[in-house]
Homo-oligomer: A and B are copies of this chain.
Amino acid sequence: MKKSVSTALAALMVAVALPAAAQFQKTEDAIEYRQGAFFVMGQHFGRIGAMANGKAPFDAKAAVDNAEIVATLAKLPWAAFGEGTDKGHGTKAKPEIWKEQDKFKAAAIKMQDETGKLLVAAKTGDLAQLKTAFGSTAQTCKACHDDFRSK
């Protein structure tokens, strides 16, 4: 029973995370959208990373602000990986995204999950917890880039 609830939840999350690609009028729009969402997210994630890695002073309020933006943006790019958006606008998306949809979706969900935990960690105001959560989240970025993004 527990497993079927969990499976149903996973299916729901995929549905939430990957709505109709038809939301974009043009392929180029979808690609520019996901690139923009990733770039903005990356900038804010990097600011948390600077604090986590001691390259910037720890500012608990800034960590929360940045983590909120990261968690919000983490939900967005996935809808823009519809069929036919594998080429154009300088995309680095690998064909594996569409060949290994289940693996890609699982990676997308994992990343969103970790950014949620990152926000929770930021809200504790504890730098040690922020560091741990930053590391876990960064691993999900790297794993997805390794598998699904060209250099």
Which residues of A come within 8 Å of B, CB atoms?
Answer: 23-24, 29, 32-33, 35-37, 39-40, 43, 47, 69, 72-73, 76
Contact = CB atoms under 8 A, between A and B. Distances in A.
Contact of A40 (B23, B36, B43): B36
Secondary structure at the A interface, as helix, strand, loop or mixed, is helix
Copy count, this protein chain = 2
A15 B40 CA distance: 20
20 contacts: A23-B43, A23-B47, A24-B43, A29-B43, A32-B39, A33-B39, A33-B40, A33-B43, A35-B36, A36-B36, A36-B37, A36-B39, A36-B40, A37-B40, A40-B40, A40-B73, A40-B76, A69-B72, A69-B76, A72-B72
Contacts of A72: 69, 72
A23 B40 CA distance: 12
A100 to B, nearest CB: 26
Contacts of A36: 35-37, 39-40
